[in-house]
Amino acid sequence: MTSDTTSALRSRTVHATGALDRWLMRIGTTEHRLIGLSILRLIVGICGVEYYVSDLGHRDMLWGPNAYISIADARGTLPEPLTSLYFWSHSEVWFNAVFFVGLAVAALFTVYGGRGLTFVHLIFMWSIYDRNQDVLEGGDNLVRIILIFMVFAVTNRYLTPRSKSLREVAFAPPRRPQLRYLSTSAHNIAATLIVFQVVVVYAVAGYYKLTGSMWNTGVAAYYVSHINQFTMFGLYPTAMNNLWLGWFISTFTIVVECAVPFVIFTQRRWLREMVVAGLESMHVGIIVCMGLVAFGLIMIGADFTLLKDSDYRNLGARVRRLRHRRGHAEDVSHAAGEATTQKRPKILAHATATVAR
């Protein structure tokens, strides 16, 4: 091996080592996507509370020990290592205790968050999901995966009663730098995996729509709107009878979903914001038109993780500027009105004196 080859190899090794050091420093020193994950926690928690409360009066029929799906049948649908807290006893007392404790945990998780509450909420949500899978809408598949990652992520830095104090602690010098590094690294890796999971969902969905004849021809929205169990009101199928509107909805869905894997890496913030806004509008439409409330809300929460913390801060700054401009315009208008009011008596007095002369 010549000296030039050795020198080039050493230079590449140093460059690769430096890049690895910078990457390790980046994931271990600064927590990313804190705002998006806080919004995700809030929405996932609300969906969990809604899941419990929506069928509170029918809980015995759906998940109780004497439900229409027996505990033995429900247990038979799961692989051997998996279980559910609802399988542990046929007692009504045990069932109600697990159910209402799960509801309380979901409420606490929504309000406070935290890794410990996330882990407990994960156990209770998996348990109630596996007790009766007939009443699930499909969003549970994403929640199961996301909650596992959220156990390792920081999801309560915003939108909780303790957010301000938690941010102050995070900005303070750490007492144990090694633990801070491990915690930050775990958060960033979990956040990356959550975003990756969301991207995979949209990439696969967009690919199948792009290669499917019904979506390519623009008739998919029409056929979906005529499925009775997924139609909330009569205007939806009537609107989808319009050829151009159905084609636009189908094409819009394909374009937005296929764009997700690319906007994650773009430096153009406005493009990322537009795609996320398109995803949100799509899922709002699913909630309103199809009635898939839990599924739509969960996907909306997942969409918020696609934006960076800098994106949210930029949006907040723009909103504050608009408010400031609006307030300034109102002040100017108010001052002009007062000036006009003060001039009117003088003009009136001058006109009166002129008439008198």
Q: Which whole number is the average pLDDT over 235-253?
A: 89
Q: Does residue 94 carry a pLDDT above 50?
A: yes
Q: What is the pLDDT of residue 348?
A: 44
Of 302, 297, 291, the closest CA to residue 50 belongs to 297
Q: Which whole number is the average pLDDT over 307-328?
A: 88
CA distances from 350 to 135, 336, 338, 357 (A): 80, 21, 19, 11
Q: Which whole number is the average pLDDT over 149-154?
A: 96
User: How do the domains of the chain map onto residue ranges?
Assistant: 30-172, 199-307, 317-357
Rg (CA), the chain: 28
Q: Which whole number is the average pLDDT over 105-116?
A: 96
Indicate the Cα dihedral angle 325, 328, 332, 335, nearest 10°: 160
Q: Which whole number is the average pLDDT over 230-250?
A: 85
Q: Which whole number is the average pLDDT over 123-144?
A: 92
Q: How long is the chain? A: 357
Q: What is the pLDDT of residue 157?
A: 95
Please state the pTM of the whole predicted model.
Answer: 0.85
- Residues 69/134, Cβ–Cβ less than 8 Å: yes
What residues contact 251, with CB distance under 8 A and at least 6 apart?
218
State the Cα–Cα distance between residues 18 and 26, nearest whole angstrom: 12
What residues contact 136, with CB distance under 8 A and at least 6 apart?
129
Q: What is the pLDDT of residue 355?
A: 47
- Tell which wins on pLDDT, 325 or 110: 110
The amino acid sitting at 317 is: A
